[in-house]
Every structure is written in C-alpha cells, then in structure tokens.
Chain A
Amino acid sequence: MAAANIVVSETPLVLYALRRGDDALILGHRLSEWCGHAPAMEEDMALANMGLDLLGQARELYAYAAKVEGKDNDEDKFAYLRHVRQYRNLLLVEQPNGDFARTMVRQFFYAAFADLYWRAMMASADPTLAAIAAKSEKESAYHLRHTSEWIVRLGDGTEESHRRAQTAIDDLWAFTGEMFAVDGSERGLIDAGIATDPAVLQPRWLKTVTGVVNEATLSLPTSSWMQQGGRSGRHSEHLGHLLSELQSLQRTFPGATW
C-alpha cells in the first residue's frame, strides 16, 4: 500500500535539505491553522501569505532532497509518508500556535534566524541551495519586518498584550538554541562550503532580537538552558498531532490525486 512510511537514505545532503524543508513545511502548516481565525482580516491574509512562502520553500527543498537521494521519493512522499520520528524540523516550529502573541513570537524568532541564514546560504558552493536561499532570503526579510512590528505593538501596547508577549518569549526561549546547533552530519557540509555554520550567526541574531524586544519594552530570559532533539527526530508531543491532520488524506486514501 502507498500509505506505508517511506524509507529515506539520509546522506548528509539529503538530511540537510529535509531538515530545512521540514522547518518550512511545519511552520507553514502552523500558520495555515490560523486561516479564518486571525484577529483581523489583514492579519489573516498575512499569516496565510507567510505560510504560503514557507510552503513554497519546503517544496523546493524536498524536490532537491528527492533529486539528490535519487530513489523513488518525491516532495509529496516526504511530506505525507514519513512518520513523526522521521521528521527533522526544529522543535520551535512545531510548538502550538497558542494565542496571537505566541504565534508572532515564534515567527519572529524564526524569521530573525532565517533572514540571516538564507542570506549567508546564498554563497553556498551548491548552486541549487544557493538559488533556493536567494528566494527564501527575500521572503524571510519581509516576515522579519512584519513580525518585528507586531512584537513592538504587542509589547508596547496594553498591559494584557505586553503580558501575553512576555509569556510567549519566556516559554519559547528554550527552543531557540537548536537553530544554532550543528551535528557531525552537517559539519562535513559546512567544511565543504555547502552549508553555512549557523553558530556563527548567533551573535547577530541575538542583536536583532534584543533590539526589537527592547523597543517593545519586553525582556529576554536570562536562562541559557536549551532544549534540542528535533533535528534527530525526537519531537515534542505536538508534532504527531499536527502530522495526523497534515497527512490524513494520504493516510486514509493512499495515493489519492486530484
């Protein structure tokens, strides 16, 4: 049956493309959950549009992973036919939407990273990744601007919006460290000039985030303890529930097309 989980040969380059593709797909799916529920019409469009950008990035990365792997897999199979432990995304992006402030803080932390990361990746020795980076960089920059404005509006808004934004920052902070972590598989790609070293970007990310958070009269936690696991498939309980919805059609009607 087509609904069986696929087997993926995770060479470093395949794994790399899947990790970044999974970040984009899962975060994009989270944003799509807001469709029809956002606090204002304009923001409903904004969240769906950012989700669409991320979905587009995921497709490019999955298509490249499939090409590099050279097996029977394709972008749809990567999305619909891997189980939760086969997903390689950051724990940050799978965290539930919560209230609007939490969604914005999650998006802001990620966009501030993606903006720097994809800009650096435009210099990748791999021409396909460099091309994907050049598109993603522009989109991430726009997402960063949009979310930054919201962080300021929420933090420097009412007592309640301030409290909600600060709670979201405090709760999500422990998931930000994973963005800058590197394992052995990725180290080889970094040494070969194919991947960029995210750890190098950390001080600049912190500077951007600190600047916006200060302007918003909010503060960053002092705790430096960081939770990891997503990159090797050890996820929070939330991802399985997300996938059950994202994959439900292919799992119920294997191979369905329209």
Chain B
Amino acid sequence: MVTSAISDADLRQRAWAAAAQVVDPEIPVLTIADLGVLRNVAVHDGHVEVAITPTYSGCPAMNMIALEIAVALEREGIQRPRVRTVLSPAWTTDWMSEDGRRKLKEYGIAPPLPGSSRRALFGEQMVACPQCGSTETELLSEFGSTSCKALWRCKSCREPFDYFKCH
C-alpha cells in the first residue's frame, strides 16, 4: 500500500537520524556515521534493523555501540530495533567522512592518511601533528590506547599525540 510505503521510508529516515547521532564510546567526538561504522538501516514490516560494521575484529566498543543504538531508537519511539553486525565489505579508514577527519584533528587525534591503507613492510609514513601541523613527527608505538590508534610524538612542539591507524 502507498501509505505504508511512505511510513516505512519515514521510519527509516527517523531511525537513521537517531542511529547517526550515536558516538563512538572511545572517541566521543565522532559519531558512528562519521566513522563509517553505521552501514545501513532497513525497515521490514515496520521493524527496524540497523547494520553496523566493526573497525577491528576484536573492537570491544561494538557491544556498547549496539546498545547505544537500541537506546537511541527506543527514545525516538521506535520499538524493539534489531542491531546486526556485518563484516563485508570490510571497514576501511577511507570511509571516514571529511567532517569526521576534521573533528578528529580538532580533538587532537591525527586523522588517517587517505588512500594509504596498503602496507609497505618497512614503509615510511608522514603524519602531521594535530596540534601544530608540523610533519617533523616520529612513531612512538604502533599500538595505542585503542585498537584503532597508534602513538606518535611531534618533534617540533614536543607533544605526544594519537594517530588513527590506516586500515
């Protein structure tokens, strides 16, 4: 029926808007829409299903994000939403929005270098300091406070900073 089709589209839009507001619990300036973790919102017979994808296989934030989505949708009056995890296509830092990159930088985390996800076994990376912009930086630790970050230091302003790893 036409009316039901319209309300399904409306419901989908409301559900997307609510889910898109959910922030990453470990990088609270980024929403899951900025990150590209929010993949899809579908409506089947009036039931909403949200699809999310993990950044890293073991990312412990996924359970929290799924819970927050359910709460956000319930608050919006959407009852018993389902949250599903999808693995394919695999998440990449290239999906991070421009807005997301800007917000990350303002927060003090160097955004991932675009389009550089492929390895070079002993490759050099040039990461600009999110504080002063200098490219005189060095890697301190390939692994940081969360799965998605590495620890760097700026040799110009001497500040240590997080770098969102390319993936």
Taking Cβ atoms with an 8 Å cutoff, the residues of A that contact B are: 41-43, 45-46, 48-50, 52-57, 59-60, 127-128, 130-132, 134-136, 138-139, 141-142, 144-146, 148-149, 208, 212
Q: Is the CB of A46 within 8 A of B143?
A: yes
Contacts of A139 in B (CB 8 A): 56-57
Cβ A52 vs Cβ B60 within 8 A: yes
Chain A CB within 8 A of B39 CB? no
Knowing A42-B141, A49-B147, the reply to whether A138 touches B89 (Cβ < 8 A) is no
How many residues on chain B are close to A (CB under 8 Å)?
26
What are 28 contact pairs spanning A and B, CB under 8 A? Answer: A42-B143, A43-B141, A46-B141, A48-B143, A49-B143, A53-B56, A55-B58, A56-B58, A57-B58, A59-B57, A59-B58, A131-B87, A132-B87, A134-B87, A135-B57, A135-B90, A138-B90, A139-B57, A141-B119, A142-B119, A142-B165, A142-B167, A144-B121, A145-B119, A145-B122, A148-B121, A148-B122, A208-B121
Write the chain B residue with the least CB distance to A115: B119
Which residues of A have CB within 8 Å of B54?
A: 56, 135
Contact with A along B42-74 (1 / 0, CB 8 A): 000000000000101111100000000000000
User: Closest approach, in angstroms, between the C-beta of B87 and any C-beta of chain A?
Assistant: 4
Question: CB within 8 Å of A: which residues of B?
Answer: 54, 56-60, 86-91, 117, 119, 121-122, 140-145, 147, 151, 165, 167
Q: How far is the CB of A214 from chain B (nearest CB, A)?
A: 13
Closest to A54 in B: B58
Is the CB–CB distance between A131 and B142 below 8 Å? no
Which chain A residue lies CB-closest to B148? A49
Contact A53 B58 (CB under 8 A): yes
Q: For residue B141, which residues in chain A have a CB less than 8 angstroms away from its CB?
A: 41-43, 45-46
Kindly provide the distance from the CB of A228 to the nearest chain B CB, expressed in whole angstroms.
27
Q: Check A57/B57 contact, CB under 8 A, given A131-B88, A138-B90.
A: yes
Distance in Å: Cβ of B36 to nearest Cβ of chain A: 14
Residue of B nearest to A215 (CB): B122
**A134→B122 CA distance, assembly (Å):** 22
Do the beta carbons of B88 and A127 come within 8 Å of each other?
yes
Indicate which residue in B89, B91, B121 contacts A145 across the interface (CB closer than 8 Å). B121
Contact indicator A135/B144 (Cβ below 8 Å): no
Report how far A135 CA is from B148 CA in the complex, Å: 13
A142 touches which of B88, B140, B142 (Cβ 8 Å): B142
Which residues of chain A come closer than 8 Å to B167, judged between CB atoms? 138, 142
Report Cα–Cα, A56/B53, bound state, in Å: 13
* Residues on A with beta carbons closer than 8 Å to the beta carbon of B56: 52-53, 56, 135, 139
Provide the bound-state CA to CA distance between A60 and B58, in Å.
Answer: 9
4 more A-B residue pairs beyond the given contacts A127-B88, A146-B143, with a C-beta to C-beta distance below 8 A: A54-B58, A57-B58, A128-B87, A139-B57
Residues of A within 8 A of B58 (CB): 52-57, 59
> How far apart are the CA atoms of A231 and B158 in the complex, in Å?
50
Closest to A130 in B: B88
CA distance A10 to B41 in the complex (A): 36
Contacts of A132 in B (CB 8 A): 87
Q: How far is the CA of A42 from the CA of B153 in the complex (A)?
A: 13
Q: Give every chain B residue within 8 A of A41 (Cβ-Cβ).
A: 141
Residues A138 and B117 in contact, CB atoms below 8 Å apart: yes
